[in-house]
Amino acid sequence: MKSKALMLTRTTIASLSVAAVATLAVSAQAALRPASAPATRSAALATTTVKVTTFNSSFHLNPKTAPVGLVIFKITNKAMFWHDFSINGHTSKVLKKGQSTTLRVTFTKPGHYVYKDTLHGHTEWGDIGGFIVT
């Protein structure tokens, strides 16, 4: 009877040891795998700088498109009226004539994004347009 109990104990210890080694091997193998697709995609996102110039009733953007990724809008107000610049839920500070600011927006999906001046009445004057993310 003692030998059966001893044999059962040894079998249990051996089984647990094999299970522990297998678990460690799977964990180590996962750590060595290349980055997942979303992580790789985010690391490859482009950064584009877009020059935005405001006039009394229009915005001029150069360039007018950008790839998916970070877009840095460098905004300058050349108009006599105050203006801001809003796109994809992000809005710059209000600029007086001659002032500049920077607005950083990350676009995660391609599409057509509306930009506008959020100050009262400015969209009716033409301070609105479209920006394309490819």
15, 81: one domain: no
Report the number of distinct structural domains present in the chain: 2
Q: Per-residue pLDDT tens for 53-98? A: 998 888 999 999 999 999 999 999 999 999 999 999 999 999 999 9
Structure confidence at residue 3 as a pLDDT band (50, 70, 90): low
> What range does the domain containing 9 cover?
2-33
Q: Could you tell me if 78 and 54 are in contact, meaning their C-beta atoms sit under 8 angstroms apart?
A: yes
Q: Residue 81 gets which letter from DSSP?
A: S
Residue 51 shares a structural domain with residue 109: yes
> What are 93-124's pLDDT values in tens digits?
999 999 999 999 999 999 999 999 998 878 77
Rg (CA), the chain: 29
